[in-house]
Amino acid sequence: MFSLISALLCAAVGLLLWTGVGYVLARRLALGHGLALPVAPALGWAVQNAVALALGQLIGFSPVATIGAAVLLCSVLLVKRHSLDEPSASTDAVPWWLFAMAAVVAMAPALAVLPKQVAEGVILAPAIFDHSKIALIDEIVRGGVPPVNPFFGPTGQSADVAYYYLWHFGAAQLAGLTGATGWEADAAASWFTAFSTLALMAGLARYLSGSRLAPAIALALCCTGSLRPVLEAIVGGTALEALLKPASGFAGWLFQSSWSPHHVAAAGCLVTATLLVTRLTRNPNLLSTVILALVMSAGFQSSIWVGGVVMALVAAALVPLMLSSIPLPAWPRFVGAGVAAGLLALAIASPLLVAQYHAALLRAAGSPVAVVPYAVLGPLAEAALGGAGNMAAYWLVLLVVEFPLVYIAGTLTLARMATEREEDDVRRIDVHALLTVVAVSLASSWLLVSTVGDNNDLGWRAVLPALLVLTAAAAAGIARWVEQRTRLVASLAVAAFAASVPAGAIIIAGNARGELSPSAEAFAKAPAMWAAVRRHTPEDARVANNPGLFADMTPWPVNISWALLGDRRSCFAGNELAIAFAPLSPERRAEISGRFLRTFAGGGSPDDVRALAETYGCGTVLLTALDGAWANDPFAANRFYRLAEAQAGAWRVYVAVPSSDDDAPPNSAGQSAE
């Protein structure tokens, strides 16, 4: 089902591949100040994936493209060796053991992807719901890039993927190099994303403070969460819901790394790009321009919300700041390099841009982004304070509740640093640029809402760049308070940390323990069932199964066994996945979802079966004993499907009958298994 050894091998390959490439480039770009190694994982991941994706589209997805991209990027060492940045002094570097600590902490979100074997069967963590995109990783390994849509692809229609899939492409590279499954590669990529952003925050904390204590504090802060559990214990859950909206995906690093690592990776790209921009003001050369473009494109191709919307707003806000930091005669070179980087990033990301534009037209959903203040207050507080109170509550209540120590200590530290006299000009500009990232990121989450799906993904994810910066700044500030023995402030910081630990512990425990469901025993047997499906389904064919199968194993019903174990395309993977991946209007999506659910529930008509075969291109059908249609099998006596294999009392695999075989006796194969 899932091999931990394979997942660990993938993680090791990713660590070597991406960190190695990133360190070479960080040295060449003269990041200095001990930032080269902390930035290396995020930088290497971004540029190698962006280049490998372009190569994969030219020569095909293969280990040749993966390794070729790394070799191409490392070849910068062959040019002007003398311009390499000098290794950072030991007093500026992050100690090696902190990277080891980061590797351990990164396991917390990765645990969310692993299956849990218990006496009752196999259980999953709630966050696996958002990892159902593993099917996209398997699709890239099977068919290359650009990938065919594995979630929906009706006969005679285009089946492009209009989703920001670079993160999944990176996981597919790991699977392609090691032979791992998409599930195992997803777990490894989740770990690496967590590790890369932890290293980035630890490095920034060291850079901003000069303290050896700050990186360790940054890692500790990443294990915390919201104040909600403590507040519920004090005032009660009902009273808290009257004052505040319920918890959502607007959450800290630990939660978001567990659920949506591709958005976290995009936030790492944005912060890394900001550091590259400040150095571009000092040396706007060709290499810096190209690498900046690759990092920006990687951010967009991993998250349209973080790497697209927020990245664009941050770039616009940084321009006047950067121009004010350099003399007027240097403006043309910097502006030229910046414009070139932006245009190159757009060119690299253009295939996904075009695909998403076409998908938006087909959905007929209007603008994907709207300006609506974030809803914070519960009914009682909203009735008392009104709209203005709700807008202020974002800054005064929600951010304090969700990120207590990170938000308060980080903001105070950055603000103080921005007003201090700083002899190091580059560091001064870095502080102002990072403060700009925080302001734009938080304001975007406050005022902008995504309208594409059922959730406000833009509002939830836009906060991530600010969280990375504020965590590093908070760690820097706390380290300084401790070293200066500012007892009162340090005591308040410890109290806030203690109050936010329970939420972090709940998330980690949930990732490690999972949630037992009635389907645990049946899910443990699902690998054999899906292996049978693969035996009868060519790699370019599509499978139909009940979109609600094992629905009780995830917080919301999703076709989870197909996504994790199927390794074949689906003709309709269910409503939850269709929201993001099927270019359908809500009405059309509901109609198709209703047809598939009805058919597998036992209420389907002959026309429904015909539609599965002819309209939706379902070359294989999987029916299980858990489906309502098991006792009244609509596929058992029709001219569109024949039985290929079955296990008594468990499952039946049907394959489509070719048109030339329409007159063949139905169910002429596999009956002995029943």
Task: Report helix, strand or coil for 346.
Answer: helix
565: amino acid identity, one letter: L
Which comes out higher in pLDDT, residue 457 or 355? 457
What is the predicted pLDDT for the residue at 668? 41
Residue among 593, 606, 605 nearest 544 (CA): 593
Per the structure block, which two tokens stand in for 289?
């321009």
What is the predicted pLDDT for the residue at 564? 97
What is the predicted pLDDT for the residue at 79? 62
* Percent of the chain residues past pLDDT 90, beyond the cut: 80
Across 380-472, the runs of DSSP E, i.e. the strands, are 448-450
Confidence class for position 671, pLDDT limits 50, 70, 90: very low
Confidence class for position 89, pLDDT limits 50, 70, 90: very low
Confidence class for position 451, pLDDT limits 50, 70, 90: confident
Reported as a single tens digit per residue, the pLDDT across 119-152 is 999 999 999 999 999 999 999 999 999 999 999 9
What is the predicted pLDDT for the residue at 34? 84
Residue-wise DSSP of 280-344:
HTT---HHHHHHHHHHHHHHHHH-IIIIIIIHHHHHHHHHHHHHHTS-GGGHHHHHHHHHHHHHH
Reported as a single tens digit per residue, the pLDDT across 212-253 is 999 999 999 999 999 999 999 999 989 999 999 999 999 999
CA–CA distance from 442 to each of 111, 388, 519 (Å)?
29, 17, 41
Residue 632 has pLDDT above 80, yes or no: yes
Confidence class for position 175, pLDDT limits 50, 70, 90: very high
Residue 527, preceding bond cis, omega within 30 degrees?
Answer: no
Separation of alpha carbons 268 and 265, rounded Å: 5
Separation of alpha carbons 467 and 249, rounded Å: 14
Average of pLDDT values for 588-608?
A: 93
Question: Mean pLDDT, the chain, as a whole number?
Answer: 91
What is the predicted pLDDT for the residue at 252? 95
Find the range with the poorest average confidence among 373-377, 455-459, 658-662: 658-662
Residue 429 has pLDDT above 50, yes or no: yes
Residue among 132, 148, 25 nearest 75 (CA): 25
630: amino acid identity, one letter: W
First to last CA, the chain: 25
216: amino acid identity, one letter: A
Residue 452 has pLDDT above 80, yes or no: no
Find the range with the poorest average confidence among 118-127, 285-294, 452-461, 542-551: 452-461
Average of pLDDT values for 187-205?
A: 98
What is the predicted pLDDT for the residue at 580? 87
Average of pLDDT values for 192-199?
A: 98
What is the predicted pLDDT for the residue at 130? 95
Which comes out higher in pLDDT, residue 428 or 93? 428
pTM, two decimal places: 0.94
What is the predicted pLDDT for the residue at 362? 65
Residue 453 has pLDDT above 80, yes or no: no
Confidence class for position 87, pLDDT limits 50, 70, 90: very low
Average of pLDDT values for 526-551?
A: 95
Average of pLDDT values for 362-391?
A: 86
CA–CA distance from 180 to each of 173, 485, 487 (Å)?
10, 51, 51
What is the predicted pLDDT for the residue at 573? 94
What is the predicted pLDDT for the residue at 150? 95
Average of pLDDT values for 328-353?
A: 92
Residue 674 has pLDDT above 50, yes or no: no
* Percent of the chain residues past pLDDT 70, beyond the cut: 94
